[in-house]
Structure 1
């Protein structure tokens, strides 16, 4: 195989493995919108970064979970659910080491003023979150099986929920993201040599 073909093939695999916002997502994950238990899927084993200047959401819950890779390895995560979310100046990046060096995928959306990226039934499996958060009518210590969102955790697990959430200067490291609908206004997708959101 020629070097140019190897490069294209490898970059193509990176893109296919990490883009959670393709057109097919609304079809594949439609069950989330029906209030079903969160959809389970094998993660790639690669973490990715998400940032936004501002996240505004309604219908929020959070509880502990596990992300399982195809090889069976499990990663503890915080599962966050948001019924409706607006993300201003959204960025998502993933970087993988390849025989040709670092190859990355950088996605941006919601960059125009007054036109954020939007998500319905957003669920994120993360292990690091930074930002300044404000919760409305928060409940801490509820049973994960009784949270106010359609997606729920296991009975007996510790959880929290709130009517709404606002996070300024959002930065998070995640294993998975899914939504019943993810609308990316002003979408830009670039293959990079390792550039990340933060």
Structure 2
């Protein structure tokens, strides 16, 4: 059935596109906000942005990898693992071009005294900036021997450290997953394309 058969107005078509996304995201993130459910999600074929005033983590490693979209397209990615992470003033945004223009999803959390928290966090990214401090860092180790549970392939270049702190985090990612993601002070908004940075 064509969309025009379901609704005759531009506003109606926008509502049909936005409502399922909002409901699904609200249900998932509602549980996540309580720290009750493990999560694993990826934006298929699209990159998204993550920003935070500060990331403080323990148990860090990073190595080369590949992010694969559902259509089989492979994207080179830097895979970062953090055992326990705290993110202060966390922002995540994704924007899609649609026939009706740009539609975005903007999520914020950890905006008060209590940060957002993640355990067994893994990020597949293409770009990262900020001011970082590593403790007990090892650069040039074999990716199969890094000090995190998840490891890369033998012979690949990698780095790891006991802890990582990043101020002014700005990151462009293909995927993010975590055993548990606790989003305190959660806010989720549908936008016309507003991004974190």
TM-score by length of 2: 0.86
Which structure 2 residues correspond to residues 66-145 of structure 1 after superposition, within 5 A?
Answer: 66-113=66-113, 115-145=114-144
1:127 Cα deviation after fit: 0.3
1:43 Cα deviation after fit: 4.9
| Runs of 5+ unmatched residues, structure 1 | 30-40
Q: CA RMSD in A?
A: 2.2
1:158 Cα deviation after fit: 0.8
Q: Distance in 1 between matches of 2:89 and 2:71?
A: 34
* CA 1:183–1:138: 2 relative to 1, 3 Å: same
Superimposed CA distance per residue, residues 72-120 of structure 1 (whole angstroms, 9 cap, x where no aligned partner): 111000000000000000000000011111000000000002x000000
8 Å CA contact 1:60–1:149 kept in 2: the answer is yes
Q: Distance in 1 between matches of 2:118 and 2:155?
A: 29
* CA 1:168–1:63: 2 relative to 1, 3 Å: same
1:4 Cα deviation after fit: 4.0
1:9 Cα deviation after fit: 3.1
Which structure 2 residues correspond to residues 116-195 of structure 1 after superposition, within 5 A?
Answer: 116-195=115-194
8 Å CA contact 2:52–2:88 kept in 1: the answer is yes
1:7 pairs with 2:6: no
Superimposed CA distance per residue, residues 28-62 of structure 1 (whole angstroms, 9 cap, x where no aligned partner): 65xxxxxxxxxxx8750010000000000000000
Superimposed CA distance per residue, residues 125-173 of structure 1 (whole angstroms, 9 cap, x where no aligned partner): 0000000000000001111111100111111111000000000000000
Q: Distance in 1 between matches of 2:169 and 2:11?
A: 37
Which structure 2 residues correspond to residues 49-60 of structure 1 after superposition, within 5 A?
Answer: 49-60=49-60
TM-score by length of 1: 0.86
8 Å CA contact 1:109–1:188 kept in 2: the answer is yes
Q: Distance in 2 between matches of 1:20 and 1:81?
A: 22
Q: Distance in 2 between matches of 1:74 and 1:22?
A: 31
1:6 Cα deviation after fit: 2.6
Q: Secondary structure at the match of 1:10?
A: helix
